[in-house]
Amino acid sequence: MLVVGGLTSVAAASTTCQDNYNDGRTALLNGSLSGLRDAYSKFNEAMQDSTCASDSNLVFLHALTRAAMLVIDNNSDANSIINIANTFGVTVIGDSFAELNINVPTSGGCYTIPPGALNATEISQEIQNSIIPEINSIIAELSTIKDSPKKRFLISFPTSETGLGKTIKVDYSEVLILKGLLLAMKSQLEFKQAYDFNVNSDDPNIQSAISQLFCGEEPSVNFNINGDFLERYVHLLNVLPAGGPVLAQSKKDLINAINYYFAVIKYLQSVVGLQKDHLIYIDPNSQFAMNLVGNRLTTLRNSLTAGAAGKYPLETTNTYKVRQGSKTVGNLVLVYDVTGLMGNGGTLTLNINGIPTPWEIDDFEGIGTDFGIDMEYSSQSEQIWGWFQGTLSSDGKKITNGTLEYWGDNSNTVYGLSAQLAKTQTTYGRLNLNPVFGGSKKYPVPVNPRDLFPQFDANNHALAGTFGDGLGDDATLGGILPDMSQQLWTSLLNLPAASTTVPNVVGLTSADDANTAITSDDLKVGDITTEYSNKVAAGKVISQSPPAGAQVASGAKVSYVISLGKPIVPNVVGLTVADANIAITSAGLKVGTVTKAYNNTVAAGVVISQKPSYGTVVAVGSKVSYVRSLGKR
């Protein structure tokens, strides 16, 4: 066996193959986009040589650069995300690999979709026919790489190549990471493939709305979400006819991507350990963050596989006792967001002579020595900004080496601060993505995204009480957010308690007229029932609820009753007693006197005759009497 520049190959490997491999490594590490493209080209040439095409090191680097081409390659005919973006005028500027500089062309600070941009169908075809097959091919290539205790997969980049003053090693965890990332990317692309995104990009209203959005403005009142968007494109954001199987595959790929994450963690813990010369290893200071991420991914995976909602921590409030030296001097309250790693709320209260208090926390993040808190203090006479820097323990329970520095109308630096966790409170919420993907026992059909929207008013503002409009105002959005209510939506989004006056529909001569009057006032048609009436002609509205003039929330339902006019006596002759009674009461009448008589031709229990006769128009509540047969004497 030979080791040539890190390439392990049989002795018969050609010089050209080894040269391409070594040149590719050099190009890969020069930190430029052009170098990355050159590396892919060199590795691709080497892969055409049968004497070394099966070498694991070459296979991995070839797959790695292939994956990079999916995202950044805009200088070749290969299809990639950037190639699609190019049709919209979006380009990569410069040659920096560390920081991709994306340019979006604007005119007067605003963006307009250029002629020739791909439409939704064309983008879908590019993704389906080119990008997803390429992802599958790269994953298959990576799957040929093997690792075992007796023969570990390992690529070493010596100091002479890295320029970092140390050797960097790539192991099998990077293979697993790349496969997981590709599956996650594939899942996202498949997810978008499942929906109808087609709109007419030449539509002036659509162009205007897009331009204004890219100018940092809301669409003007000339663009109406209902009339110009949802009603004009009636299939927009619906699941496509073939979308169900696509979403099922997206769900499967997402679960497998999560599985690869845990496979990476297991490999790093059992094989790599604390070998800091490896590209990726587990830092003990990151264990707390890893546990948080792992717990959330476990909940998501279990939710998807079980077809049930998962319970997630939405907000965690940690209260710390603050000390200076051995003396307790205050309290620190940190409100973590859903990630559990950062937040933008809380307070710092200090009882230290001459130090302003209390402080309002703007945001904070970090683990270990990178932990920092951005805060401010304000009073009628002072505006002060502060920065707290310290070391947060890996379990999040202790802060040491804390320093508070502040400036503005007052400035100072406070040293020697520490904090110990005293109390934790967590607010949980449930999320269920199974209605989105469908295919489960409880949610066999995926929900249409457009059905989750609220109603919008003429100024494109969401109307309180209408979330899940397409699902009958289901605030849980088809079960995606099981704990949500319309009141919570209104509170969370700070929606105004929009109200409107209920119109008078009593006396209108048809259901169509009544429905038009209701919906014209940002209200919904509720239950429509019918009722016989002595005074109101058939077809006219008798009553309504809520009554005319009432103030209700926009989107509220108005129910009404339509007159059937005066009742007509039904024909009950020949019916059984039970059926006759039902026919009479259903017609708005009452059962009158029931007499009995023997009859040689009419079976027992059947009506022989009635009064009034069939077809007679009578008042509501009139009585219909009949004679019941006793059969033959």
pLDDT score for 472: 86
Q: Give 273-332 pLDDT, tens digit per residue.
A: 667 788 888 877 777 888 889 999 999 999 999 999 999 999 999 999 999 999 999 999
Closest by Cα among 23, 87, 12, 88 to 55: 12
The CATH number of domain 577-629, selected from 3.40.50.2300, 3.30.10.20, 3.30.830.10, 3.90.950.10: 3.30.10.20
The residues, ordered by sequence, that sit 6+ positions from 72 with a Cβ below 8 Å of its Cβ are: 33, 36, 80, 82, 92, 100
Tokens (6 digits) for 621: 């509540």
pLDDT score for 582: 94
Rounded Cα distance, 253 and 190, in Å: 9
Return the domain boundaries, the chain. 121-191+242-309, 199-234, 311-431, 499-563, 577-629
For 311-431, CATH gives 2.40.128
Mean pLDDT on 572-577: 94
Q: How confident is the model at residue 10 (pLDDT cuts 50, 70, 90)?
A: very low
Q: How confident is the model at residue 4 (pLDDT cuts 50, 70, 90)?
A: very low
pLDDT score for 212: 65
Tokens (6 digits) for 65: 């650069």
List the beta bridge partners of residue 561. 529, 543
Q: Give 201-248 pLDDT, tens digit per residue.
A: 677 767 666 666 666 565 554 677 877 788 888 898 999 999 999 999
pLDDT score for 199: 79
CB 560 within 8 A of CB 592: no
- Average pLDDT of the chain is 88
Hey, what CATH topology would domain 499-563 get?
Answer: Trypsin Inhibitor V; Chain A (3.30.10)
Length of the chain: 633
Mean pLDDT on 49-64: 92
Which three-class secondary structure state does DSSP give residue 490?
helix
pLDDT score for 77: 52
- Helix (H), strand (E) counts: the chain: 15, 22
Element (H, E) at 251: helix 243-267
Q: How confident is the model at residue 1 (pLDDT cuts 50, 70, 90)?
A: very low
pLDDT score for 458: 72
Pairing of strands 398-408, 524-531: unpaired
Domain 499-563 shares a fold with domain 577-629 = yes
pLDDT score for 2: 28
Tokens (6 digits) for 467: 């979330």
Task: Measure Cα distances from 74 to 70, 105, 279, 336 in Å.
Answer: 9, 16, 28, 40
Which three-class secondary structure state does DSSP give residue 418?
strand
CA angle 13, 16, 21 (to 5 degrees): 85
Q: Give 543-557 pLDDT, tens digit per residue.
A: 999 899 887 777 788
Which of 42-46, 166-170, 507-511 has the highest mean predicted lDDT (pLDDT)?
42-46
Tokens (6 digits) for 167: 């050797």
Task: Measure Cα distances from 216 to 111, 219, 225, 226 in Å.
Answer: 10, 10, 17, 21
Share of the chain above pLDDT 90, in %: 58
Map 182-241 to HEC letters: HHHHHHHHHHHHCECCCCCCCCHHHHHHHHHHHCCCCCCCCCCHHHHHHCCCCCCCCECC
Q: Give 345-381 pLDDT, tens digit per residue.
A: 999 999 999 999 999 999 999 877 789 999 999 999 9
pLDDT score for 387: 96
CB 330 within 8 A of CB 349: yes
Single-letter code of the amino acid located at 563: S
Does 19 or 284 have the greater pLDDT score?
Answer: 19
Share of the chain above pLDDT 70, in %: 93
Does 447 or 16 have the greater pLDDT score?
Answer: 447
Q: Give 133-152 pLDDT, tens digit per residue.
A: 999 999 999 999 999 999 99
The residues, ordered by sequence, that sit 6+ positions from 348 with a Cβ below 8 Å of its Cβ are: 322, 330, 331, 332, 333, 357, 358, 359, 361, 373, 375, 388, 404
Q: Give 577-617 pLDDT, tens digit per residue.
A: 999 999 999 998 999 999 999 998 999 999 999 999 999 99
Q: Give 88-120 pLDDT, tens digit per residue.
A: 888 888 888 777 788 888 777 677 778 888 888
Residue with tokens 């379990």: 395
Rounded Cα distance, 104 and 111, in Å: 8
pTM of the model as a whole: 0.75
Tokens (6 digits) for 328: 């307790």
